[in-house]
Structure 1
């Protein structure tokens, strides 16, 4: 049996831009949310992929290693 992929827009899908405190300074952060994936670009030189788990937790699944505080901040900005 072939399962259909869920391609309907998930809640709050889209592009987000904001400033965040990273490495002792305020830097621009761009996040693109698509379903349960967050593609993060910080200051045009740091990229990471985060995955939203079923229970609402966010795990880093690729890219540059982000500190837990940065992941928590991104989660609050995107998911509330």
Structure 2
């Protein structure tokens, strides 16, 4: 696997929360090369592949809404330090 992106998220783990169906869920993402291993509330697991244009393509796990994947992309790859953690709003 080659990590060909220019994002600022280093190898390792990042934790945050999102709002999903009016519930706050804990999320942690672990980056390994160009793969993000996603854990939502310790009961949903998915892998997202970072594409050359920094978009994310889901490659395993239950299908996540596009808005959730986009929120994760912005949170992790753009490293939104000022985000209040309120989530994707879905």
Task: Report the TM-score range of the alignment, normalised by the length of the smaller protein.
Answer: 0.7 to 0.9
Q: CA RMSD in A?
A: 1.8
Matched with 2:87 is: none
Alignment of 1:1-80 (within 5 A): 6=2, 11-12=8-9, 13-80=11-78
TM-score (structure 1 length as normaliser) = 0.82
- Bigger Cα Rg: 1
Gaps of 5+ in 2: 79-90
The CA deviation at 1:23 is 2.5
Deviations 1:9-45 (A, max 9, x none): x852210110101232111001001111000000111
Larger relative strand fraction = 1
> How many residue pairs are counted as aligned between the two chains?
74
